[in-house]
Amino acid sequence: MSEIFTTDVLTALLAGGILAGVPLLFAALGEMVSERAGVLNIGLEGYMLMGAYVGFVTAYHTNTFLGFIGGAAAGAAVSVIMVVLCVRLGLDQIVVGIAITLLAEGVTSVLQGSEFGTSYPRLP
């Protein structure tokens, strides 16, 4: 049992946790700022999901820099949908946020299935 808790394993676990948590920390920071402004942004996971999918596909087919740009643009485009529906049309923020999250989950799942099928590509 003690060979599991070596220095190398604990260092790798801590580094992996920090690496995996950075995007969530940025999303939480953005959510905190938006809630302080009075906006309940439930669709944040949908923005992240669309940005991650479009960023991966763009990086897979072109290069990594364009992947970052494409991911940011896709997340921003989905957030504009939330702005139009909630601010301009006056719809409920919670309902629109949940709808955006579910829509993003469905769209990315269908697009991944149609483009890659059962294969799981990796970036070089």
How much is the pLDDT for 68?
Answer: 94
How much is the pLDDT for 53?
Answer: 95
Amino acid 6 reads T
The pair of structure tokens assigned to 6 is: 């070596």
Percent of the chain with pLDDT over 70: 98
Across the chain, what does the average pLDDT equal? 90
Using one digit for the tens of pLDDT, what is the confidence trace for 41-94?
888 999 999 999 999 999 999 999 999 999 999 999 999 999 899 989 999 999
- What pTM value is reported for the model? 0.81
Give the pLDDT band of residue 7 (cuts 50, 70, 90).
Answer: confident
Give the pLDDT band of residue 1 (cuts 50, 70, 90).
Answer: low
What does the angle CA 35 – CA 37 – CA 39 come to, to the nearest 5 degrees? 55
- The answer to whether residues 45 and 51 touch, using CB atoms and an 8 Å cutoff, is no
